[in-house]
Chain A
């Protein structure tokens, strides 16, 4: 039993223990999981050797949930209960979803995010995504032979706060500890850059199933610095399929298709697109449910002509990112292509023409994102060989607040390096005013109505003063996952009312807890076991982190009494964990909190030591950090 290892103070094996960490590419069309083994990033196959997992979830009437190939194969038979491309609905309302009427699903408009009506009930896209993640987690744990310590999950760089939060919630539902949300093009750049020992300015052109990202990075000696990112979170390979689909409807004068026929034709359209990568001409032939057989011939040239406007749409964001980075096309050393859709020959030609150079395609465009995520996961888990890597990413869309007249005032501009924080002072408008509303939005447009609303909240408890006397400092903090948190406090009175704001979109904490406990059983005991398991996992992580810290710096930075105090709290927590009784959940929490409480100063000293190291001996005292 691993816990016995901590009984000998200072003899812990924790620092050299290899933590099981994976990178997950949660894609619109396909998903993958990868890990670093013996220093090499590799994707993990399923039981029959397939790397890709189609991001398709089927809910059967008997309660069975299928994910992947079987679900995908059955999509045309039961389209309403087979959720394809769920990523397009993450953190989105019905109004945000393109082509709603052509999709076979029954959407339900709920505050924050759509739900889908299925035979398994009303499901949030978060729950559907969690099913995909669960399968990948299981695949990883079986293949690595142990419980995962954590995962890096990739998201399109152009995902806004709501979409990121939804992804993180899905991971939590799947029982995955998220080490970091990583932008897909950045992940690709890591895999590519480390593989080729590249230096200089590189662009990543990433056209996935449902999203387009374009990022510009500067690579210098293990530092991956994102200079600018742009994209379109509702443009992808799916749209190229849909062009063929629409062309079929038009040329064959088809109308009023059933959901089953729509799904069938969409799938055939996608296959035709894929065939045109290698063939000059292709035939689409399908027999519809009513016996009507469809035959059409599509040439590569017509397909190119058909989808030219889609391709052209990607170059707007490309030009914008170059402008934001202050770069000319000539200054770019290489362009990496990522995403299955970048296999299309006319796309490769168009990208090559734009950059005056052939794009780089030597890594599998389907796998490169998962591989980069695995490398980052390995580094974040603190495993050997990961410490030379530094990633400096940016926020893709500006954050602002609503001001008079429904205008957005930018607080944090797009492409600011994260983590970042900005403070903004507000004051009262009327005498004796004790509350005010703040509306946070994300996007580049001037009008609030054209940006994404992230959070609306009221600041209450402002001391009554004359108009303009109160000074309320609202701080917007964007963390390394690109997620926003907002805090506010009134400064003139000395009484600081400090509030943390959870954005109002997406799922609430109680909804997530509900989803966590639903499905297993409603029995009170099961709920408690589940909650206990979460607390235990957190506690083990805390033990692991503390032991590592003690072994690294305990002797140098702690006095004897402090050392003893921390070890005694470690023992307490380890003992509580060994009990493992469902009644001990409060004990686990209390022991964890007690350990956290005694390590606060130790954490500060360790950070100071890090700063001293970074400043190589400069006068740290004068910096007052």
Chain B
């Protein structure tokens, strides 16, 4: 399937702000019809087709459910996914501070500090997503959006760094 129809697949208007409950319900409805489990006693040809379609639906769902990939997908819909986005010096500085704080908490196996960092980051991401929503849905400014999506992906990286540190300590 060509990616351009992911929103349509779930019956949604292509916007950054979407109703996640609607998305989830449409996802369940589609998988109820297309999941390979529904074809376990069918012919091989139907089983192959179900595998392919169900895979596509999972892929589409994952893309739209997560804000950064949803934003990036919207950019690609408007042909702006190759916009060269840079992040500001100030943003990079703040990223380095985050990274240092995570590394420090990780090195001293400080679970409490990591948990606090995760909470702060969650708040930061929520604020950032609101900004991105306004940029895309209200102003339609794809150049600024590209930069904000890039920043969002930096935050996601920080999030996974914290989770990795927590995994390591738990292990």
Smallest CB-CB separation from B171: which chain A residue?
A316
How many angstroms from the CA of A549 to the CA of B41 in the assembled complex?
10
Bound: A436/B29 CA distance, A: 42
Min Cβ gap A126→B in Å is 23
Say yes or no: A603 contacts B46, CB within 8 Å.
Answer: yes
Known contacts A323-B163, A419-B51, A623 near B5 by CB under 8 Å? yes
User: B157 contacts the other chain (Cβ, under 8 Å)?
Assistant: no
Residue among B9, B11, B40, B170 with the highest chain A CB neighbour number at 10 A: B40
Chain B residues with Cβ under 8 A from A607's Cβ?
34, 46, 49-50, 53
User: Which of B32, B35, B43, B62 is within 8 Å of A596, CB to CB?
Assistant: B43
Q: Is B54's CB within 8 Å of the partner chain A?
A: yes
Question: In the complex, are the beta carbons of B51 and A479 less than 8 A apart?
Answer: yes
Q: Which of B2, B8, B49 makes the CB contact (< 8 A) with A618?
A: B8
B51 and A323 within 8 A (CB):
no
Q: With contacts A419-B58, A604-B49 known, is A625 near B1, CB below 8 A?
A: yes
Contact call A390/B42, Cβ cutoff below 8 A: no
Could you tell me the dominant secondary structure of chain B's interface residues? helix
Point out which of B8, B32, B51 has the most chain A C-beta atoms below 10 A from its C-beta.
B32
Asked whether A444 is an interface residue with its Cβ less than 8 Å from the other chain, the reply is yes
Evaluate contact between A614 and B32: CB separation under 8 angstroms: yes
A287-324 vs B, CB cutoff 8 Å, 1 = contact: the mask equals: 00000000000000000000000000001110110011
A220 within 8 A of B: yes
Instruction: Report whether B8 and A417 are in contact in the complex, using a CB–CB cutoff of 8 Å.
Output: no
B26 → chain A, closest Cβ, in Å? 9
A180 touching B37, Cβ below 8 Å: yes
Query: Chain B residue with minimal CB distance to A383?
Result: B41
Closest Cβ of chain A to B170, distance in Å, is: 4
The answer to whether A480 touches B8 (Cβ under 8 A) is no
- B36-73 interface bits toward A, Cβ cutoff 8 Å, 1 = contact, 0 = none: 11101111111001110111101101100000000000
Among listed A25-33, A56-64, A244-252, A538-546, interface-contacting one: A538-546
Cβ B61 vs Cβ A545 within 8 A:
no
B36 touches A419 (CB 8 A): yes
- A window 535-591: CB within 8 A of B: 541-542, 544-546, 548-549
- Return the chain A residue nearest B36 by Cβ: A480
Q: Indicate whether B18 reaches chain A with its CB closer than 8 angstroms.
A: no
Tell me, yes or no, whether B167 is within 8 Å of chain A by CB.
yes
* A480 lies within 8 A of B42 (CB): no
A380-394 contact mask (Cβ, 8 Å, vs B): 1 or 0: 111000010011100
- Decide: A19 and B41 in contact? CB cutoff 8 A: yes
Asked whether A419 and B30 contact (CB < 8 A) given A479-B36, A622-B5, the answer is no
Instruction: Decide if B28 touches A625 in the complex (CB within 8 Å).
Output: no
Are B40 and A622 neighbours in the complex by a CB distance under 8 Å? no
A613 interface contact, C-beta 8 A: yes
A323–B166 CB distance below 8 A: yes
- Choose from B11, B33, B38, B43 the contact partner of A546 (Cβ within 8 Å): B43
Q: Provide the bound-state CA to CA distance between A299 and B31, in Å.
A: 52
Report the nearest B residue to A318, measured CB to CB. B170
Query: Are A480 and B49 in contact, with the CB atoms below 8 A?
Result: no
A97 at the B interface (CB under 8 A): no
Q: Binary interface profile of A, 583-617, with partner B (CB < 8 Å = 1, else 0)?
A: 00000000000001001100110110011011110
A420-B46 contact in complex given A390-B31, A614-B29, A615-B11, C-beta closer than 8 Å: no
Q: Which residues of chain B are within 8 angstroms of A610 by Cβ–Cβ distance? A: 33-34, 38
- The chain B residue sitting closest to A324, CB to CB, is B163
Find out whether the CB atom of A220 lies under 8 angstroms from the CB atom of B28.
Answer: yes
| A444–B167 touching, CB < 8 Å | yes
Does A418 contact B58, Cβ atoms closer than 8 Å?
yes
Considering only residues 405-419 of chain A, those with a C-beta below 8 Å from chain B are 416-419
B40–A180 CB distance below 8 A = yes
Contact across chains for A624 and B49 when beta carbons are under 8 A apart: no
Known: A19-B41, A623-B8. A615 touches B46 (CB 8 A): no
Return the contact of B40 from the options A225, A381, A614 (Cβ within 8 A): A381
Q: Taking CB as reference atom, which chain B residue is nearest A619? A: B8
Q: Which of B34, B37, B53 is close to A380, meaning CB atoms less than 8 Å apart? A: B37
Query: Bound complex: CA of A625 vs CA of B21, how far in Å?
Result: 24
Nearest Cβ on chain A to B38's Cβ, whole angstroms:
8
Interface pairs (21), CB distance under 8 Å: A180-B40, A220-B28, A316-B171, A320-B167, A323-B167, A324-B163, A381-B40, A387-B38, A417-B61, A420-B59, A477-B51, A542-B44, A549-B42, A549-B43, A599-B43, A603-B49, A614-B33, A615-B11, A622-B5, A622-B8, A623-B9
Q: 6 closest pairs, A vs B, by CB?
A: A316-B170, A614-B33, A603-B45, A380-B40, A382-B41, A480-B36
Q: Which residues of A contact B (CB under 8 A)?
A: 19, 149-150, 179-180, 220, 223, 225, 315-317, 319-320, 323-324, 376, 379-382, 387, 390-392, 416-421, 444, 477, 479-480, 541-542, 544-546, 548-549, 596, 599-600, 603-604, 606-607, 610-611, 613-616, 618-619, 622-625
**17 new A-B contacts at CB < 8 Å, known A477-B55, A544-B41, A614-B32:** A149-B41, A180-B37, A180-B40, A317-B170, A323-B167, A416-B58, A416-B62, A417-B58, A418-B58, A479-B36, A480-B35, A603-B43, A607-B46, A613-B33, A618-B11, A622-B5, A623-B9
